[in-house]
Amino acid sequence: MSAPPAVVGMVRRLEDAGFETWVVGGCVRDVLAGRSAGDWDLTTRARPKDVRRLFRRTVPIGVEHGTVGVIGEDSVLYEVTTFRRDVATDGRHAVVAFADRIEDDLARRDFTINAIAWHPLRDELYDPYGGRADLEAGILRAVGAPSRRFAEDHLRVLRALRFAGLFDLRIEPATWTALKQAAPKLRTLSAERIREELLKVLGADPRPSSVLSAYRDAGALGVLYPELADVPEPGREWSGTLATVDRLPRGRPLQRLAALLRPLDPSGAAALLVRLRLSNAQTDETARRAAAPPLPPADASDADFRRWLSAVGVARLTAVARIELAEARAGKSGRDVGDLVDSWRRARRVRNARPPLEVADLALTGDDLIGLGLRPGPDFGRILASLLGWVLEDPNRNRRELLEARALELAVGEPPEGGAAEP
Ligand code: ATP
Ligand code: MG
């Protein structure tokens, strides 16, 4: 193993000051698994005040939990955390105390593969739970008694599933049994922690299907995302949806989320998104991508494409077309890939002609309707929507005189007040 020089320099400074310090956690696991390391995290006997004294540029990230950010000589922010042990846990939060020994610190980590420390000055691995052997044998195993470890922090259920999928590990039987027993407790976790786990899976895993299938097998899907658990399996819907998600690139988790929600009805998708507590803008965008109707076939009329662009939103064309392409390639939609590519091209061509697609693009406004002697009210919306439909059919109709004449026809055609029979 080798760490960036800035990391080695930080360890040396801490050790020279008399504080035992190790590289630990995800980065050690990643390098042992033959991958590039994410964040290089240090764990040390130094207390936060010592760390802040020893380094010139520090950021108080979570000092009360022992974490100080240190900006290395490579200008990267590294987390330096004091050895800790758990004092009290309730499944959702932990109360921690500082510890003096690396042994204590590793003992509170969740899985053997995450509980390996490496000392860059001595090039020494400290791996008391056999994490390296587990990684090599393809096993995910809890540190210590599995049911106790899941009871301490229910999020570990989801972390186990995520790591097993990402590193292609089998979950060791006792860990698996305890994990399934703990799954119902997932509902007690905060929306933020659940969401971040899902977004990590969708954003980082090249093939999220295996984690999502494991969510289902473990019962986590039914607890957290019952709308998805109801999507039938076996059958094309669920497995086709997973195959679609796999075909979309990682790094855009919300795009994959939209694909995952496509089989749901709009109210189910909305309920799930609201529970995740994404921002309003993200919720709205994801829901609209999920609910978008299929692109018209390549030989449909220009008017069909304009209606689709109007209904879905021009800005959403690329995102929705990519989802549809992934669905077609996954064999989910039964659509011909070549036809879909042609129809995407046609949609772009129609869009590039910049036709009027929204009420705001009409060459006539609500004020113009008032100018015609019509009374403002709910009918205005109906008339404008109807004019838009007429213009989508043929953009040459988007001229004020034509629209005014049409508006008067529509207004006359409406039933007299109070005379409208409810269907
Ligand atoms: P990634 O960053 O890809 O999610 P990671 O293993 O680095 O993976 P982090 O959440 O960054 O995960 O945590 C760093 C380390 O802290 C983990 O490797 C593990 O040792 C420990 N850890 C994190 N969360 C928990 C937890 N809920 N229970 C026990 N140990 C944990
Ligand atoms: Mg990490």
DSSP 46-111: S-HHHHHHH-SSEEEEEGGGTEEEEE-TTS-EEEEEE-EEEEEE-BS-EEEEE-S-HHHHHHTSSB
Residues 274 and 366 grouped into a single domain: no
Main-chain phi, psi angles of 80, to 5 degrees: -115, 115
Please give the model's pTM, rounded to 2 decimal places.
Answer: 0.92
| pLDDT at residue 12, rounded to an integer | 98
- State in Å: Cα 39 to ligand 2 middle: 6
Query: In this predicted structure, what is the pLDDT of residue 420?
Result: 44
Q: Is residue 212 in a domain? A: no
Q: What is the pLDDT of residue 412?
A: 79
Ligand 1 atom nearest the C-alpha of 155 is 27
CA distance 147 to 367: 68
244: in domain? yes
Residue 260 Cα to ligand 1 midpoint, Å, equals: 26
270 and 382 in a common domain? no
Query: Which domain does 363 fall in, by range?
Result: 359-412
Considering the domain architecture, whether residues 261 and 373 belong to the same structural domain is answered as no
Say yes or no to pLDDT of 151 above 90: yes
Q: Which ligand is nearest to the CA of 160?
A: 1
- Ligand lying nearest the CA atom of residue 25: 1
Q: Which of 114, 167, 195 to mutate to test the pocket of ligand 1 (most atoms within 8 A of CB)?
A: 114
Q: Please report whether residue 400 resides in a domain.
A: yes
- Most informative mutation of 92, 110, 193, 197 for ligand 1 (most atoms within 8 A of CB): 110
Distance (Å) from CA 23 to ligand 2 centroid: 12
In this predicted structure, what is the pLDDT of residue 423?
41
Decide if 217 is inside a domain: no
Q: How many domains does the structure of the chain reveal?
A: 3
User: What is the share, in percent, of the chain residues with pLDDT greater than 90?
Assistant: 92
Please give the share of the chain, as a percent, with pLDDT higher than 70: 96
Nearest CA to ligand 1 atom 30: 109
**Arithmetic mean of pLDDT over the chain:** 95
From the CB of residue 52, how many other CB atoms can be counted at a distance below 10 Å?
A: 17
- 137, 161, 182 - which closes a domain: 137
Q: Which residue is closest in CA terms to ligand 1's atom 17?
A: 25
Is residue 243 situated within a structural domain?
A: yes
Task: Map residue 42 onto helix, strand or coil.
Answer: strand
User: Are 50 and 73 in the same domain?
Assistant: yes
pLDDT at 244: 97
Q: What is the pLDDT of residue 69?
A: 98
**CATH number of the domain within which 73 lies:** 3.30.460.10
Q: Is 309 found in the same domain as 261?
A: yes
Q: Is 38 in the pocket of ligand 1 (CB under 6 A)?
A: yes
Task: Determine the pLDDT at residue 195.
Answer: 98
Joined together, the tokens standing for residue 188 give: 């007690």
Is the pLDDT confidence value at 416 over 90?
Answer: no
188 located within any domain: no
**294-352 tens-digit pLDDT:** 999 999 999 999 999 999 999 999 999 999 999 999 999 889 999 999 999 999 999 99
Distance 25 CA to ligand 1 centre (A): 6
CA of 35 to the centre of ligand 2 (A): 13
Closest residue to atom 5 of ligand 1, CA basis: 26
What spatial distance separates the first Cα and last Cα of the chain, rounded to whole Å?
74
In which band, very low, low, confident or very high, does the pLDDT at 356 lie, cut at 50, 70 and 90? very high
Q: Which residue has the higher pLDDT, 420 or 128?
A: 128
pLDDT tens-digit series, residues 182-224: 999 999 999 999 999 999 999 999 999 999 999 999 999 999 9
Same domain assignment for residues 338 and 404: no
Instruction: Assess whether the C-beta atom of 130 lies below 6 angstroms from ligand 1.
Output: no
pLDDT of residue 237: 87
Q: With a 6 A CB cut-off, is 105 part of the ligand 1 pocket? A: no
Q: How confident is the model at residue 419 (pLDDT cuts 50, 70, 90)?
A: very low
Shared domain for 9 and 89, answered yes or no, is yes
pLDDT at 236: 60
Residue 333 lies in a domain: yes
* Structure-token pair, residue 335: 């659509």
> Which residue in this structure is represented by tokens 């994404």?
278
User: Which ligand has the minimum distance to the alpha carbon of residue 91?
Assistant: 1
Same domain, 383 and 289: no
233-282 residue pLDDT tens: 655 689 999 999 999 999 999 999 999 999 999 999 999 999 999 999 99
- Residue 68 Cα to ligand 1 middle (Å): 16
What are the pLDDT digits (tens) for 23-42?
999 999 999 999 999 899 99
Q: What average pLDDT score do residues 394-400 get? A: 98
d(C-alpha 322, C-alpha 251), whole Å? 14
Residue (of 162, 155, 154, 160) closest to 140 by Cα position: 160
Q: Are residues 228 and 340 in the same domain?
A: yes
Q: Give domain status of residue 182, yes or no.
A: no
Distance of CA 82 to the CA centre of its chain: 31
Task: Say yes or no: 344 and 392 in one domain.
Answer: no
- 83 and 43 assigned to the same domain: yes
How close is the Cα of 113 to the center of ligand 1, in Å?
Answer: 10
Domain boundary, last residue among 325, 352, 379:
352
How far from 115 is each of 122, 215, 321, CA to CA, in Å?
A: 18, 24, 43
Position 235 scores a pLDDT of 54
Last-in-domain residue among 137, 164, 189: 137
Q: How far is CA 373 from CA 363, 365, 403, 407, in A?
A: 18, 13, 14, 11
Tell me if 43 CB under 6 Å of ligand 1. Answer: no
> What is the rounded CA–CA span in Å between residue 46 and residue 180?
38
Buried b (16+ CB within 10 A) or exposed e, 375-410: eeeeebeebbebbbebbbeebebbeeebbbebbeeb
**pLDDT band per the 50, 70, 90 thresholds, residue 421:** very low
Residues 363 and 341 in one domain: no
pLDDT at 234: 54
Q: What is the pLDDT of residue 102?
A: 98
Atom in ligand 1 nearest the alpha carbon of residue 109: 30
